[in-house]
Structure 1
Amino acid sequence: MSSIKMNSCNSNNGESKNGTSNSLASVNHDLGLYFLELARLGSAKAPTEMEEDEEEAPKELNTINSSGGFLFVATDKLSVKYTSVNLHGHDVGVVQANKPAPVKRLLYYFEIYVKDAGAKGQIAIGFTQESFKMRRQPGWEANSFGYHGDDGFLYRGHGKGEAFGPTYTTGDTVGGGINYASQEFFFTKNGTIVGTVCVVKEIKGSLFPTVAVHSLNEEVHVNFGQKKFAFDLKEYEAQERLKQQMTIEKISLPPNISYGLVRSYLLHYGYEDTLNSFDLASKSTVPPIYIAKENGFDEQDIVYALNQRKTLRQLIRNGEIDAAISKLRDWYPQIVQDCGALLAYERPQESSVGYLLEESQRDVVADTVNAMILSTNPNMKDLQGCLHSYLEKLLRQLTACCLERRSANGDQGEAFHLHRVLNSGKDIKS
């Protein structure tokens, strides 16, 4: 398809009443540009999911913003020791991570190892905001949460704690995490979950992993993922995904709905042979599956020119461009000019539109031709009907709903990627 010339002429005389020829040319122009953009994007190196969602995660402690008078941070910026005498309740040694917890993911987690519980074991792990008062234990101030070692209490936003888990001391490994899917904080001890608290949504602004020490010789080492965690984070993540999948699978749908969507996809893209096999399989099930016309689509619009669209798709995917052009010239002369650019060059592979002949782009070319043929159907009601099958429209709606849900959670949680969802389903079943 040419990005410069997407003209179309009427198959009879080049003109018709009420500007039909101009209208068709405009439609084909829009269709061509749409698929050309897909081809260009496909030929460029697409960013990976991680590159799309990458956030700079904490790697070390912030030695600038800390209550430095009461603690010492080692040169590795991962070890903390309380070096003063605890005389007052506010003589706390607090230090935050150098970056806030990333939010564009399912989970965030970090750990501390208690090398020495010191005089009183008043160690705490939790999350605080950047503006947190750095002489207070995490959890003692609004928008902060902390799991404390001396009493095992959870503190959330005020000085009064609540029974939560066991105490921890020298030799223990304690972790703190955020589950963005369930909007919960969770804490662990020696690789086992202690408990969760559902309050993430209540907090406004970024959260920083935070550690506090509060009595002489208390010393902890922080692990932001540089070493293997004591807690099996991958297994926990897999269990969270399984919960989501099980919730989805509890939704019961009549078989003919999913069959109808698949059938409409095969019809839309001209996969006639696969469609015939699919119909045969549907009738051989027990009980047989029949697709009622009232299930959401007008089949006549996408049955249009099915055999011709199948033939052209096969030719294009096989790289038989000359044969495809010949068939188009015989069947749809009104759109064949839109394909002429590929033949206008002595070496089309080296031309500005040569990327369309790459094997990886043949499906895009075939989709373009398919859409343009559908656009010649006088009963086609709108351009979108040429572009996307009903299955694809449903998946677009699913993506929009997931984005809306994420927005409602303050843009927390991982972005929606369809192939990741589909692959997770395969992983769970296997």
Structure 2
Amino acid sequence: MTTTTNTAISSNSKNGNQDPGLYFIDVARQYSSPVGGETELEPTELNTVKCSGGFLVVSSDKLRVKYTNVNHHGHNVGVIQADRPAPEKRLVYYFEIYVKNAGAKGQIAIGFTNHSFNMRRQPGWEANSCGYHGDDGNLYRGSGTGEAFGPAFTTNDTVGAGINYASQEFFFTKNGAVVGAVYKDIKGLLLPTVAVHSQNEEYVAPLLTSQIEVNFGKKSFAFDLKARYPFFCFILIDFFSYFSSKEYERQEVMKQQMAADKISLPPIVSYELVRSYLLHNGYEETLKAFDVASKNTIPSIYIAQENGFGEQHIAYALAQRKAVRQLIRNGEIDSALSKLHEWYPQIVQDEKSATCFLLHSQKFIELVRAGALEEAVHYGRIELAKFFKLPGFDDLVRDCAALLAYEQPHQCSAGYLLEESQREIVADAVNGMILLTDPNVKDAQSCLRSHLERLLRQLTVCCLERRSLNGDQGEGFHLHRALNTSTAGRGPSANTLV
């Protein structure tokens, strides 16, 4: 698969070897894969293979633990970890325990440990571990010496442990309230861990009813989460991802938003970005309405200055770009091609260019959309077959052809081609190529992406770099997903923002 890089599309010459339209081929290719990346596996039960087998008993559902030994030494602790590490590609991970019986000494602990942790010691007593202990309320981080942290916890208490990947902190809760948080100084994968170290627990048969059935979201955590099933010393355990921690996540997002709100930018900055975006993409009518509305909020002197600064090349052929874009967005590809042959024949002169491929493939897609399958087959043999063995096109040609194999092509793996976003990509490509015909243009990149789009690309890079510096932990940033969830519908040309 050929990938268009920033270096390749930033040629300063319109006569260079690299087809600038290949940038939009790469954008189209991004939509062939679901946004969001691979799904992480989450803890679902206790790991009975690796645990302090001689000191505890685990229930058949692997969600309950009972201490079975006599507490004479510090090394006869009943320790057990989750079956999988805490997921990292998210804002927060959290789990809870419910203490049915704390035993004679109340020596229960909850926290996180790594894969090599000594399964005869309380979490927090060894390196690469952190634990909140019930008998004294202390927090232990890598040594047998605890630090004052919070209240003790005992029978009938619900205690939780979590990781805030954004702030790189461990946090703990008791009965639905935050106890405190500490810096997460342990690197690598961490497993939710619980320890029991106190005799005389009582096993109560009624607890084997549906009260403790495994539940990932049907009930709430004590700490405002959607799923709840405890874990004790006798302990019922509940693992659940951050997607359920709505209130906590909301608070974290609000903190970040408040920090961003403190940054003050003059209105003219956003005005210029929005106006240049509309102008660049040929949204003439929206631009006129925007200018009228801006007169009430932006001083006229600034508007006059901004309208005259750096807009000459993106104002080029505005009416023609608007007309062609509208035709493509309406699915009228033949009419769009006709206008290009009339107004800008140089754009469609090379029949094997990226722009021609996008236009011909969109014509094919429109035929499939209309149910004209025989005509689509005929058109594909004439116009798409020539691209099949060309580097950078073959995979998209196959996706187009795949639409013919399904009674409901919208639901197949190539169904993304039938989305409105595909029309937008083609319209953006043609718009950019028209801008490139301006004899005064010196920078191809300025024709392919608006200032706003370049700014959002920079935002994406910064977010990815920040996550990299954070050990690749924390919620991933996907601009397409953020745009889709923050608006009811896709805004114009939102497809090329990344």
TM-score, with length taken from structure 2: 0.73
Q: C-alpha distance in 2, partners of 1:196/1:223?
A: 28
Q: C-alpha distance in 2, partners of 1:189/1:277?
A: 55
What is aligned with 1:47?
34
1:174 equivalent in alignment to 2:159? yes
Secondary structure of residue in 2 paired with 1:62: strand
Secondary structure of residue in 2 paired with 1:121: coil
What is aligned with 2:220?
228
How much does 1:318 deviate? 2.0
Distance 1:292 1:64, change over 3 A: farther
Paired residues of 1:110 and 1:223 also in contact (CA < 8 A)? no
What is aligned with 2:191?
208
Q: C-alpha distance in 1, partners of 2:162/2:255?
A: 18
Percent identity among equivalent residues? 66
How much does 1:302 deviate? 0.8
RMSD, matched Cα: 3.1
Paired residues of 2:35 and 2:478 also in contact (CA < 8 A)? no
1:30 equivalent in alignment to 2:10? no
Paired residues of 1:283 and 1:290 also in contact (CA < 8 A)? no
Secondary structure of residue in 1 paired with 2:100: strand
Counterpart residue type for residue 211 of structure 1: V
Counterpart residue type for residue 280 of structure 1: V
Distance 1:97 1:219, change over 3 A: farther
Paired residues of 1:265 and 1:390 also in contact (CA < 8 A)? yes
Counterpart residue type for residue 254 of structure 1: P
In the alignment of these two chains, the number of paired residues is 400
Q: C-alpha distance in 2, partners of 1:222/1:97?
A: 17
Q: C-alpha distance in 2, partners of 1:243/1:424?
A: 19
What is aligned with 1:151?
136
1:384 equivalent in alignment to 2:445? yes
Paired residues of 2:268 and 2:298 also in contact (CA < 8 A)? no
Paired residues of 1:111 and 1:223 also in contact (CA < 8 A)? no
Q: C-alpha distance in 2, partners of 1:299/1:82?
A: 74
1:77 to 59, 62, 69: 62
How much does 1:391 deviate? 0.3
1:368 to 421, 426, 429: 429
Q: Which segments of 5 or more consecutive residues in structure 1 lack a partner in the other structure?
A: 4-19
Secondary structure of residue in 2 paired with 1:299: coil
Moved more, 159-168 or 345-354: 345-354
Paired residues of 1:79 and 1:219 also in contact (CA < 8 A)? no
1:105 equivalent in alignment to 2:95? no
Deviation by residue 1:314-363 (Cα, 9 ceiling, x = unmatched): 12222233332222122111113344857899934762466899562222
How much does 1:69 deviate? 0.9
Paired residues of 2:267 and 2:298 also in contact (CA < 8 A)? no
1:280 to 292, 297, 300: 292
Q: How does 1:294-333 map to 2 (within 5 A)?
A: 298-333=310-345
1:119 equivalent in alignment to 2:109? no
Q: C-alpha distance in 2, partners of 1:335/1:265?
A: 22
Distance 1:302 1:426, change over 3 A: closer
Q: How does 1:224-263 map to 2 (within 5 A)?
A: 225=216, 227-232=219-224, 233-263=245-275
Counterpart residue type for residue 385 of structure 1: S
Counterpart residue type for residue 67 of structure 1: S
Distance 1:359 1:235, change over 3 A: closer
How much does 1:191 deviate? 0.9
Q: C-alpha distance in 2, partners of 1:268/1:192?
A: 51
Q: Which segments of 5 or more consecutive residues in structure 2 lack a partner in the other structure?
A: 3-11, 204-211, 225-244, 368-373, 385-396, 404-415, 489-498
Q: C-alpha distance in 2, partners of 1:296/1:148?
A: 67
Secondary structure of residue in 1 paired with 2:125: coil
Paired residues of 2:282 and 2:321 also in contact (CA < 8 A)? yes
Secondary structure of residue in 2 paired with 1:347: helix
Q: C-alpha distance in 1, partners of 2:250/2:329?
A: 38
What is aligned with 1:192?
177
Q: C-alpha distance in 2, partners of 1:357/1:150?
A: 60
What is aligned with 2:228?
none
Distance 1:160 1:222, change over 3 A: farther
How much does 1:426 deviate? 7.7
